[in-house]
Amino acid sequence: MIEGHIFIQGIISPWQDKGSEEWGEVNIKQVTRQIQDNADAGKLIVHIHSPGGDVDEGFGIHDILVSHGRDKGIEIETRIEGLCASIATVIFLAGSVRKVC
C-alpha cells in the first residue's frame, strides 16, 4: 500500500492571507494541494506540529481530511510530532488512527 504524507507544520492561517505560505503558515489550499499530490495513496499520514491559529481554517482542514478518507475509503492517520495546540487538536481528531510521537 502506498502511504501519502500531509504536513501541517506552523500557524494555521486563512487561505486568503497574502504571503502566509512564505511565512511558513498552513492553510486549506496547501493541505488540499498535498492531498491531490498523494492521489494514489491508500493511506494518508498527517504530520502535525502547530500552535493552532485560525479556527475556521482549522475546521475546514479537519473536514477535508475526514471527507477525503470517507469518500476514498482510505485510512487517515494523524500524528502529533511536537506541538499540537488549539485548533490543531481538532485537526488531530480527523484521524481514524491517532498517534502521539
pLDDT digit string (tens) for 21-66? Answer: 666 789 999 999 999 999 999 999 999 999 999 999 999 999 999 9
Q: CA separation (Å) from 46 to 37, 38, 66, 85? A: 13, 12, 12, 15
Handedness of CA 88, 80, 25, 16 (dihedral sign): negative
* pLDDT at residue 51 in the model: 98
All structural domains of the chain, each given as residue ranges with its CATH number in brackets, are 3-15+23-100 (3.90.226.10)
pLDDT of 2? 96
pTM for the model: 0.93
**In this predicted model, what pLDDT tens digit does every residue of 2-20 receive, in sequence order?**
999 999 999 999 977 676 6
pLDDT of residue 15: 77
Q: List, for residues 61-92, the tens digit of each pLDDT value.
A: 999 999 999 999 999 999 999 999 999 999 99
Please check whether residue 39 is in contact with residue 78, taking contact to mean a CB–CB distance below 8 angstroms: no
The Cα 75–Cα 83 span in angstroms is 23
Report whether 20 contacts 27 (CB < 8 A): yes
Q: Is 25 exposed, middle or buried (0-12, 13-18, 19+ CB in 10 A)?
A: buried
The grid cell for 71 is: 469518500
Q: How high is the pLDDT of residue 75?
A: 98
For position 21, what pLDDT does the model report?
A: 66
